[in-house]
Structure 1
Amino acid sequence: MANINLIKDALSILNIQSDFVTKDEIKEAYRKAAFKYHPDRNLAGLEMMKLVNVAYETLKDFEGETTSINKNKKDFGEIINNALNAIINLGLEIEVCGAWVWVSGNTKPHKEVLKGAGFLWAPKKLCWYFRPNDYKSHNRSTWPMDQIRNVYGSSEVNKEYRKEECKQITND
């Protein structure tokens, strides 16, 4: 069975708020999220679809009570989408690790934009991150980025795709 934090993040990303969830509800939530965050419809769609796909993979075999797991009733998918849309055109390196988004590169000129979008500074990693608001760490030590990538997986945004996507949007 998947880690409770992973299930909680996946429920938030797919905006599943019921107290008991079935496989059919998970499929329906996935379809709605895939439609809403598809790259053809959404500027940050590529990153969002990565999160949606990871959330579905985590939940596809899950069926049961979610009352104790899903205390956060906010639509994390929409929150993270808004944050990504705010920074997508800044030319920064964006990496998705689990339900967290890490931003690195030349971020100093964009500090205020990142703060305004809800990103937080990680001084030991020298990069910005966006996470679920209700996340509580049960670990006293900090993890290096390599360990985070190994545990939660990692996918970087294809910069060439993003540049082409930005050109198409500005030319339309």
Structure 2
Amino acid sequence: MTPYDAAKILGLSGNISPEQAKKAHREACKKYHPDINPAGEKMMKLVNEAYSVLQDFTGDVKEQQTEYGEQLNAALNAILNLSGLFVEVCGAWVWVTGNTIQHKATLKAAGYKWANKKKAWYFRPEEYRSRGRGQSSLEEIRAKYGSSKPQGTGHDRLQAS
């Protein structure tokens, strides 16, 4: 995960210090804790990964940050109980594979988009623009950004990898 993606998840922008990252991490932990949020386990993995990137980071993130954490949380909660889906977090994006045909309408309504070359659904905020133009395969994305498969999704309760 890049510092830019980590800052998006924690809702930070501008000049970032380790102290600001720690404060944002604590606030996000309170907001997305599994005891109060159905998609909390997935969100906490993202929040913790974002903090691990920013805990020693000092620098500037120039672009205005959106409420990416909130949008991501809503998108995950929308598909949390759908069977047959494999949810995978690569960097700050969520990829969904498996038996997605029967859940197409729900995925679209939750803001997921279809990536034809990858044969997978993905979530990102509307205003985010990818620079890659879809040239990377899902395997290349996994290698570059890492991959975790959160528990609590689909029929087989995927474990973190």
Q: TM-score, normalised by structure 1?
A: 0.81
Runs of 4+ residues deviating >4 angstroms: 159-164
- 1:115 maps to 108
Question: Per the alignment, in what secondary structure is the counterpart of residue 33 of structure 2?
Answer: coil
Alignment equivalent of 2:25, drawn from 20, 25, 30: 30
Per the alignment, do residues 134 and 161 of structure 1 end up closer, same or farther by CA in structure 2, a change over 3 Å counting?
Answer: closer
CA contact 1:100–1:132 (8 Å) conserved in 2: no
1:60, 1:39 → 2: CA distance?
22
- 1:77 maps to 69
Per the alignment, do residues 162 and 75 of structure 1 end up closer, same or farther by CA in structure 2, a change over 3 Å counting?
Answer: farther
2:98, 2:156 → 1: CA distance?
16
For structure 1, the 5+ residue unaligned runs are 165-172
Deviation at 1:132, TM superposition (A): 3.7
Deviation at 1:40, TM superposition (A): 1.6
Q: Percent identity?
A: 48
1:37, 1:87 → 2: CA distance?
16
- 1:154 maps to 147
- 1:16 maps to 12
Deviation at 1:163, TM superposition (A): 7.8
CA contact 1:102–1:130 (8 Å) conserved in 2: yes
Per the alignment, do residues 103 and 161 of structure 1 end up closer, same or farther by CA in structure 2, a change over 3 Å counting?
Answer: closer
CA contact 1:9–1:132 (8 Å) conserved in 2: no
Question: How many residue pairs align between the two structures?
Answer: 156
Does 1:64 pair with 2:62?
A: no
**RMSD between aligned residues:** 2.2
Deviation at 1:162, TM superposition (A): 8.2
2:130, 2:67 → 1: CA distance?
21
- 1:47 maps to 42
CA contact 1:12–1:72 (8 Å) conserved in 2: no
Per the alignment, do residues 74 and 162 of structure 1 end up closer, same or farther by CA in structure 2, a change over 3 Å counting?
Answer: farther
2:3, 2:38 → 1: CA distance?
26
Per the alignment, do residues 61 and 103 of structure 1 end up closer, same or farther by CA in structure 2, a change over 3 Å counting?
Answer: same
Per the alignment, do residues 97 and 14 of structure 1 end up closer, same or farther by CA in structure 2, a change over 3 Å counting?
Answer: same
Computing the radius of gyration from Cα coordinates, the structure with the larger value is 1
CA contact 1:9–1:55 (8 Å) conserved in 2: yes
1:40, 1:161 → 2: CA distance?
20
